[in-house]
Structures are given as C-alpha cells and as structure tokens.
Amino acid sequence: MKLLIVESPGKIKKLQGILGAEWRVAASCGHVRDLPNQGYGLEPPDFTLRYTETKPDVLKKLGTLVRDAEEVFLASDPDREGEGIAWHLKDALGLKAYKRVTYTAITPRDVQAGLDSPRDIDMNLVHAQEARRALDRLCGYKVSGPLCRAVREEKMSAGRVQSPAVRLVVERERAIRSFVSTTHFGVELIFEAVENISDGWKACWLPREGWLADGQEYFLDKAVAEKIAALRTLDILSCEEKESRAAPPAPFTTSSLQQAASNALKFKPRDTMAIAQKLYEAGHITYMRTDSPNLSETAIAEIRACADSNGWPLPEKPRTWKSKAGAQEAHEAIRPTHVEVESAGDTPQEKALYALIRIRTLASQLADAVFDVRVARLASDVDGKKAVFEAKGRTLREQGWKVVMAADASLADAEEAEPDNAVPDLKAGCQATAVQGAVKMKKTKPAPRFSEASLIREMEKRGIGRPATYAAIMENIAARAYVKEEKAFLVPTPRGEKLVDALAGAFGFLDLDFTSHMEERLDDVANGNVSYVQCVGAFHAQLMEELGRFVQAYAVPCPACGNREQFRHVYSREKGWNFWGCKACGAIFADDNGRPGLRQEKGAAELTDFLCEKCGKPLQHLQGTKKDGSGQYDFFACSDKACGAKYDNVDGRPVIRKAPALSEHTCKKCGKPLVPRPTKNGGVWFGCSGFPMCKARYWAKDDGSPDYDNPPKH
C-alpha cells in the first residue's frame, strides 16, 4: 500500500478515485504542530521555534498508516505553508524515507505528473514559512502587552500585517473628514443632428487650454462659464479618426479573484477563498493561491482549441502577462482544469465563481476588442479668448475578447462608462451649430472609503501581505473591532484609530514601505539568499529597540519607589481589575482616571466617623484589589481586630452584615457553633463562628455532619 498525505480531508475522495485501490489517501487537517499558546516559543540568538503537537490523534492515526505503507508521499499544498506542513509531518512522524510531491490541480494528468517528479522538502521554503510565523509571533506577543497598557484598553493586539491594513483604513477616513470640496464649472454643448443622428452630439469645453492660471486645477468663475455655454456657432479645428484597441484582462491571481468576486458576485474575500477551495478539491480549478497571472503552455493550447471550436477570435501568438514585483510564481494563474466544461460546482455560489474564473480565463487568450474612435476639436471666441471644445465618439467594431463577456454581463469587469456620442464626420475649416448649451456645476470629492476588495487591491499594490493572507487580514481587523462595515465600505472604529495613533511613528512594522521590504526579505529566505536567523534577528533587534523607547514613553514611575520598568496599570473588564501595581516594592494604588491614585494598603486605612455597632470603636473603610487578583473589595471593618465586626458598603455607609446561620454542630477547638459554607463545586464545609479569633474549618461528611478527624489545611 502506498500512502499519500494531503492537507484537507475534502481532497481524499477525489484523489482516492484517481489513484485507485493500491493507494491510501489520508489528511493531516492542516498543521499538526504549532507554537505554544503561552510564551513566545522562540528566543534569541538562534530563534529556534519550539513547537507543540496540536493534533495528537491525527498523528497517531497517520503513524499507524505509515507503518503499513510501502512508500509515503507528502502532498500538502504547493506553497510555503504547505512546505512547512510537509516538514512537520516528516519530523513528527519520524519519516526517514518519503517523497515530497506537488500538483496545482486535482486531475489524473496533474496528479500523475506530480507523482512522477518527487523531490525532497525544500527547506528554504520551510524557513521562509517559519520566518513569517516568527515575525508575526514577535510582533504580536512583544508589542500587544505594552500597547494595552499604553492606551489603557484591554485585548488590543498589534499585528505585523494587520496593523498596516488598519492604518490604510484610518488614514483614508481621516482624509475624507478633512477634505474640503471645491465647486467648479464646466460646459457641454449639444449640436444639431447630422447624418440622421437623431439625438445630436455633444462636445465638452477644455478649460485647461488657456483658461486656468498656473497651478490652478479647476475653473471657478460661473459667470464666464455661462458666457461660454451661450456659444452657438463654432469653428471646426480638426476631426480625426483612429483605431483603439483594448486587450483582455489577465487571468485571475488570488488577489484579483477576490476583488472580482466582491464586485461581481458580492462575495466576501473569506467566502471567495472557501468556495474556491471546494472547487479546487473537487478538481474543477487549479490551485487558488497564486501571484502569477500566466498560464501553462498546455492550458493555453486547450483554451485556443476551445476558442477555435466556438469561432472566437484569437491573436496570432499566445498572451503572456507581466507579474507584479515580488510575485511568487511557483504555479500558474487560477483557471478551470477543463476549460470546455461550462458549469461546475455543487452550489449556486460554486457555479457562479466557476463561471467567473472560466470566462476570465477564456477572455485572457482572445483577440483585442477594436474600436473606431472619432475626435473633433471646435472653438469660438469669448471676450477675446478662444474656448476650445472636444467631441469624442467611440464605436465597437470588433468584439474580440468581449464576445465571451457578453454571455453574462455581470461577469464583465466594471469599465469606465463612456457616453454614446456618435460624432459625425466633420470637415476642418467649416462650422458647426450648437442647439443647446449647459453649465455643468461639479464638486470635487474625496477618495472613496475602502471596500474589502479595494483594500486588498491597495495592499497588493503596496506589497503588504501575500495571497494566502488577504482574507484572514480582512476577517481579523473586523473581528477585533478595529474596523466595521457600513454599506459595504470599511470604516475605522475609535478603537482602530487609537491603535494606529499609538503605533504610528513608534514601530517600523506600521510603516508601509517597511512592510513591503519585509515581504521581500521573506522572499529572499525562500530563495536561499538570506538565512532564517538573519531575517528574524534583524527584525527582532529593531523591534526591541523600538519597544524600549515605546515603553519609556508611556512608563509611569511608582509613587512608592520610583521604579518605571516594573510598575504597571493592571486592567481587565472581565475580572474587575483596575489598579496600579509595582513588582519591585509590592505597592498597590487605586486607578484615578488612568493614573495611580491613593495607595491601597489594608493596614493603612484611615479611621472613619462611623462607629462599630458591636463595640463602639471607629470603623475603617477598606478597599482595593484582592491578593489573589480575583477582584476588588470594598467594605467597612471595626478598627479593633479583636472585635472583627464587618459591614457592607451601601452607598458609602456601613450596613451590618447579617449574622450567618448557625448549625447544631460545635467547634471542636473552641466550642462555638459552626457555620455551614458552600464550596465552589456545590459541596459544603464548616467554619467556626468565632472567626477571626478561632480559624478552625471542617469538611462536611456525606451525612452532612462535620468531619472532625480530617480538617482542611488553611
């Protein structure tokens, strides 16, 4: 029996059908080991990652299968994460003989090609995956604690990539808030019908030609615009005809698929990736995490054959596309595994995404769309100055790649709409008569808020993150309440703005250029040009230097001993903590609007004007944090320790606590009645009513009586 280990259980059925009975396909269900939940899991100078097993049951099952297998093939996904998973499996299962195989589509041809080309695990890719994990762990664990203390808000977290994403949203929102709109004017003339053009044709005034002062961007004089709009006879300066060609869009990368699915199908990025995963596992599309916009030679040949059979126009040579800088091109663009299959998927969402991918793939290899463009320039004098107008018309002559887009208009990328303006064939030196003119009042608008799709596009343009991370970033910044969605647009929350304000200028990872550079360093690790230790060590050194300055900037000295390093604001809404504590001297202070207030020491409480009802001595008001950190205390107690009377604080006044119910049992030590007390797990114990003079305690037996022979330790 041969064993093939993949990541996802969803692939097992398809692969088992391809490979046959002599194979056994099993899944690791993702990573089988990870960094520990507590602690950093790595330390300088070598930053070796300390892993813990996260799926012992899976490893046990795989170990049994490995022992019965003749050969073991590690077929996790063909990316850095998949390479890391393969290495963890090899190490955790103690594999001395294995074959690492990859394929970008689950089809008989692709899977067999992968099996025919086994290799060793690429440790450079593993180190790049580990470096990314280490950088994220250092950033999150080292910075998040000081960040929470600095902004005095719990559960704030810094992220090496997610924080720059939040910064983009915050800066865009602030630009919108500060934007001052400018009202400006344009002019449009409508000319008489020519050559049976019933609706006439339009020309727009070009204020840039002689009407704007140096540095002026918009025309602001409405009165002059009205004079220009009153023109009726204009000289024809020129009329040119030319051809315009539009190439098809490139095949989908991970980023462009998420953007197109958001615009055309209204899918969120995480949903797009989940649906694409299903299509991939079912063998309908190639691997859906890729930076490459190019297709394999085999795929191009199949697409051209499909286009030819449908009579669609083809260019002379197959198309190739220029990848963006830093793209990881280990495998091709996202495409159907069988382009002739028009519909695939089990759900309406899967069918819709498949259709989007298929049409984009087909269009990418078809001929250009060809337009006939006619541009006329006209002019007339106004107050001794020449007002120049332009009339532009465009007519589609050859559909080219648009022939496949026409099958479903919702799948076409949104293009900049151009008005239907059939400009007639005009002759230079003649005149044209306008029948109507209108002043067009316009207002400048700020850049729009980011949608999830446009934020991904901006991140990709700036080199922030990688295809596999975009969907998770969108989900994380929303789940952590740094941004919220309003009418399909992302808006920063006050919490998100507080995050950016605290980190900006303090940490390099929030700088957008730095983030892009770090992605390049990870690529260098993957290519073997930089070692894991060099990459992580450089980041750690800079981070610790920045962290030291950050902590000092927000540090508060202990009022008791002056220590800054070990004096902290301890706050938790869930646990009811809100105090300042010093580990150096042990002093505790109440919080006073974010600063240390009165010192909280049990023995130092001042006497109040209230008198003890039991003995008549003054009461003390005691408040602060319990020693075990389980919450706050606030009550009155008699200043005479021998009396021991305690009172609840009700609206600032002492109210005598009700006497506990006494049992019929007595204390073996002092003879006073015992008081039954409940335990946390629903049991019972007995305490002496003579407390605090007598501190005897007893467990309760099954019959409800005190167990005098086995008292609890206290």
Among the listed ranges 3-7, 23-27, 369-373, 417-421, which one has the minimum average pLDDT value?
Answer: 417-421
Query: Which value, in Å, is the radius of gyration of the alpha carbons in the chain?
Result: 37
For the domain spanning 254-367, the CATH number is 1.10.290.10
Find the mean pLDDT for residues 421-436. Answer: 91
Q: Which uninterrupted H or E stretch holds 204?
A: strand 201-205
- The amino acid present at 251, given as its one-letter code, is P
Tens-place pLDDT, residues 124-152: 999 999 999 999 999 999 999 889 878 87
Mean pLDDT of the chain: 89
Q: How confident is the model at residue 410 (pLDDT cuts 50, 70, 90)?
A: very low
CATH architecture, range 183-247+370-443: Distorted Sandwich (2.70)
Q: At which residue do the structure tokens 């114990």 appear? A: 685
| pLDDT above 60 (res 630) | no
pLDDT of 327 reads 52
pLDDT of 572 reads 67
Nearest alpha carbon to residue 231 among 184, 187, 199, 185: 187
Residue 673 CB partners (closer than 8 Å, separation 6+): 662, 663, 664, 665, 666, 667, 689
- Among 98, 103, 280, 287, the active-site one is 287
Q: Phi first, then psi: what are they for 545, rounded to 5°?
A: -65, -45
Q: Where are the alpha helices (DSSP H) in 365-451?
A: 402-405
Report the distance separating Cα 173 and Cα 712, nearest Å.
61
Is 287 part of the annotated catalytic residue set? yes
- Residue ranges of E strands in 399-464: 431-443
Q: Tokens standing for 333?
A: 């663009």
Q: Which CATH class is domain 2-121?
A: alpha beta
What residues does CATH 2.70.20.10 cover in the chain? Answer: 183-247+370-443
CATH superfamily membership of 132-178+448-553: Topoisomerase I, domain 2 (1.10.460.10)
What residues does CATH 1.10.290.10 cover in the chain? Answer: 254-367
pLDDT of 225 reads 97
Report the distance separating Cα 620 and Cα 604, nearest Å.
9
* 3-state SS, residue 449: coil
Tens-place pLDDT, residues 414-423: 344 455 688 8
Report the distance separating Cα 611 and Cα 619, nearest Å.
6
* 571 vs 570, more confident: 570
Report the distance separating Cα 295 and Cα 284, nearest Å.
16
Report the distance separating Cα 251 and Cα 285, nearest Å.
13
Ramachandran bin of 44, using left for φ above 0, alpha for ψ from -120 to 50, beta for the remaining angles: beta
What residues does CATH 1.10.460.10 cover in the chain? Answer: 132-178+448-553
Among the listed ranges 73-87, 565-579, 664-678, which one has the minimum average pLDDT value?
Answer: 565-579
| pLDDT above 50 (res 612) | yes
pLDDT of 196 reads 57
